Structure 1
Amino acid sequence: MTATHDPVRVWHRLADTSVLLDGFHALKHAVRFQARIPVAVTIDRGAALALAEELATDVRDALEKLLVEVPEATFKALVPRPHPTAVAALAVRPARAANLETLARTPRPAPVVVLDNPRNLGNAGAVIRLAAGFGATGVVTTGTLDPWHPTVVRGGAGLHFATAVERLAVAELPPGPVFALDPEGEDIRGVKLPDEAVLAFGSERSGLSAELRDRTDHLVSLPMRPQVSSYNLATSVAMTLFHWSATGGGAASAEGSGTVPGGPDIRPA
């Protein structure tokens, strides 16, 4: 990963086929998880490297090689909604074949999360960020939402590169027992979720589709106070993955220190 001498030309050539990393934290995570990044720009290289020195020393040297400073007007022309950190980059999307191989591999060290017909781009991004944090094998969406949409990637803070993210039909879901969240299901507190589980969550508005429900092996529910309608989708995923890890889940519970070689990074993106 090396900086280019003509970042604007490279940006325009690759923008339509690349993943936009919008902000310092998205770039930081993409670098950590070995994304291919052909171009990265900022309006203040010194400030960006100082941020790396403060929050992510493990990627500071890589960012020093990658980042090219451009005028503010140029930056705003390249990035329609600039992140407050004034850092942006383009990354190569992981090969679909490689992601599908990861999702299909058994036995798995951690569950796959399935979002069935999700509607909210920000929620989908938050789920991908959660899944990466818990060490989930991947996140699959069904329906029309593109999990690599720029708004989803922004919400995921670059952590698409830390897990396998793909859109599939219900009939194409990875192997493994499907545990779907549903208000009528068995209380999850009495259920041990296996590492091979496929954890399915219905859409924010209409719940599980009939097709996904037919594919389900176990319906489970989250504890909820009476007269409370529902949880936010990302909250439901977080509670379910925490239950998996707290009851003996694989890699996430074994490695759950939440730190990286550069030290703790607990600030919100």
Structure 2
Amino acid sequence: MQRAYAVSRLRSARRDPSRVRLEGVHALKHAVRFGAEIEVVATPDRDELERLLTTLAPDVTLPVAPVDVDAATWATLVGRELPSPVLAVAVRPPVAALPDLDRRGRLVVLEQPRHLGNLGAVVRVAAAADAAGVCVIGDADPWHPTAVRAAAGLQFALPACGRLDTLPELGRPLVALDPDGAALGPRTLPADAAVVLGTERGGLSAGLRRRADTTVRIPMRAGVSSLNLATAAAVVLYA
């Protein structure tokens, strides 16, 4: 019964907006470390899972016992092999349409990101930099399993809100990253700035560029057209 329940929850989590599917030990360890409510953990190799947790996250104790699944069932759950043998389901925390605007640090705003892996990588960078949060304008969901996997589960470490139609007034200096802006340098950006990044190919919309209090660019060698979205976010957050 326990195994059947675990398999059912893992299959339904992808379509359940109130749940988060965690793929791999890194996503699981960060979710637990930052207070996620874990409902189900499943593995085809309990010994390897315990070895990885002991090696990579000795501070983490799983709040629920792992459920063992056979290789055939595991293959139907993962679709493609994961680098570590664990899947889990967590309750998706309630996240407001915008993060707490009193939270310290810079806020990252992504306009119409197209690649969920890049979106997740931005969340990972933002968590490492102790940013105020990550907001997404457009249809991309920062809690999608692909984004959670790319972020190693660090959506649980900071506010991650998505699917905004437009960017409301934030009460923070609005900084747009744009090739025509002033060169980014030390102490260029306020510590509480809301930094808006567009797509790698199209950049920011004209509307957001007009709203910006400041427009900056990342100095780059001639002939290099752009940076990966997460790399650009890292440069700005650590500037």
Once structures 1 and 2 are overlaid, which stretch shifts more, 170-179 or 200-209? 170-179
Q: Which residue of 2 aligns with 1:188?
A: 184
What SS does the corresponding residue of 1:81 show, helix, strand or coil? coil
What SS does the corresponding residue of 1:148 show, helix, strand or coil? coil
Task: Quote the Cα distance in structure 1 between the aligned partners of 2:226 and 2:186.
Answer: 20
How far did residue 211 of structure 1 move? 2.2
Task: Quote the Cα distance in structure 1 between the aligned partners of 2:7 and 2:170.
Answer: 35
Q: Does 1:109 align with 2:104?
A: yes
Given candidates 98, 106, 119, the residue that maps to 2:114 is 119
Structure 1, gaps ≥5 residues long: 244-269
Cα 1:136–1:66 shift into 2, 3 Å:
farther
- Letter aligned with residue 87 of structure 2: A
Q: Which residue of 1 aligns with 2:210?
A: 214
Q: Which residue of 2 aligns with 1:160?
A: 155
Q: Which residue of 2 aligns with 1:141?
A: 136
Percent identity between the two aligned chains? 46
- Letter aligned with residue 62 of structure 2: A
Task: Quote the Cα distance in structure 1 between the aligned partners of 2:223 and 2:137.
Answer: 29
Kept in 1: contact 2:23–2:82 (CA 8 A):
yes
**1:6-85 to 2 correspondence within 5 Å?**
6-13=2-9, 14-15=12-13, 16-17=15-16, 18-59=19-60, 61-62=61-62, 65-85=64-84
RMSD: 1.8
Cα 1:8–1:77 shift into 2, 3 Å:
farther
- Letter aligned with residue 215 of structure 1: R
- Letter aligned with residue 43 of structure 2: T
Cα 1:204–1:8 shift into 2, 3 Å:
farther
Structure 2, gaps ≥5 residues long: none
C-alpha deviations, 1:39-97, integer Å up to 9, x for none? 010111111111111111000x326x432221121222223234121111011111133
What SS does the corresponding residue of 2:176 show, helix, strand or coil? strand
What SS does the corresponding residue of 1:170 show, helix, strand or coil? coil
Once structures 1 and 2 are overlaid, which stretch shifts more, 207-216 or 189-198? 189-198
Calculate the TM-score normalised by the size of structure 2: 0.90
Task: Quote the Cα distance in structure 2 between the aligned partners of 1:158 and 1:190.
Answer: 30
Calculate the TM-score normalised by the size of structure 1: 0.81
What SS does the corresponding residue of 2:62 show, helix, strand or coil? helix
How far did residue 143 of structure 1 move? 1.4
User: By percentage of residues, which structure has more helix?
Assistant: 1
Kept in 1: contact 2:6–2:41 (CA 8 A):
no
Runs of 4+ in 1 over 4 A off after TM superposition: none
